[in-house]
Chain A
Amino acid sequence: DVKVTQSSRYLVKRTGEKVFLECVQDMDHENMFWYRQDPGLGLRLIYFSYDVKMKEKGDIPEGYSVSREKKERFSLILESASTNQTSMYLCASSPGPIYGYTFGSGTRLTVV
């Protein structure tokens, strides 16, 4: 069964901390994505990557960066966590639109 694995299900961090969210996929997909999900706002794209070491900004990249050193791993970095980054973070990968995205189970991040 194909999988996207996010390293943590729940995370609590302090304001100002640097936070790393890890995502690993075992499907050899080239395209990987990071979204955040907030009530009433749906899923909003933070960053995506279409190849190793390649990245592009999504709709809300401010305060975030990403790293893709290997095809299977796509990391989201919160440079200095703030309370408004408290959210559910979802990683996804895809080989193409007709196959859809496969999402990880999400990381619920709370910044205090």
Chain B
Amino acid sequence: GQSLEQPSEVTAVEGAIVQINCTYQTSGFYGLSWYQQHDGGAPTFLSYNALDGLEETGRFSSFLSRSDSYGYLLLQELQMKDSASYFCAVGVDSSYKLIFGSGTRLLVRP
């Protein structure tokens, strides 16, 4: 089967840095993506990694190690508005379909 593992919940303080990990076991690998979802909202696309290394987009960075089947999302200078659920997702074949993890709920405290 296919599985993605990520922590169910993470708490951090405003202004701090937090890392959300994702490990995957899938039949194929066509990139790791991250999505953010606020309560009551739709998931929104944050980042995509096809190759090993770090991709930076403003306060958010995403890392991939294909040899370890592992990636993470790094959020810097946390703001209250970053409180949301974060999902990692893996493309498992060339069809563009994604398999999602069960999500990490991030709570940012003042």
Contacts and interface: CB of A to CB of B under 8 A. Distances in A.
A63 to B, nearest CB: 19
Interface residues of B, number: 26
Contact of A104 (B42, B45, B97): B42
Interface in B8-53: 8, 30-31, 33, 35, 41-46, 48, 50
- Scoring A44, A100, A102 by chain B CB atoms within 10 A of each residue's CB, the highest score goes to A100
Contact of A45 (B42, B46, B98, B102): B98
A105 B41 CA distance: 6
Interface of A: 31, 33, 35, 40-45, 48, 50, 56, 58-59, 90, 94, 96-106
Interface of B: 4, 8, 30-31, 33, 35, 41-46, 48, 50, 87, 89, 91, 95-103
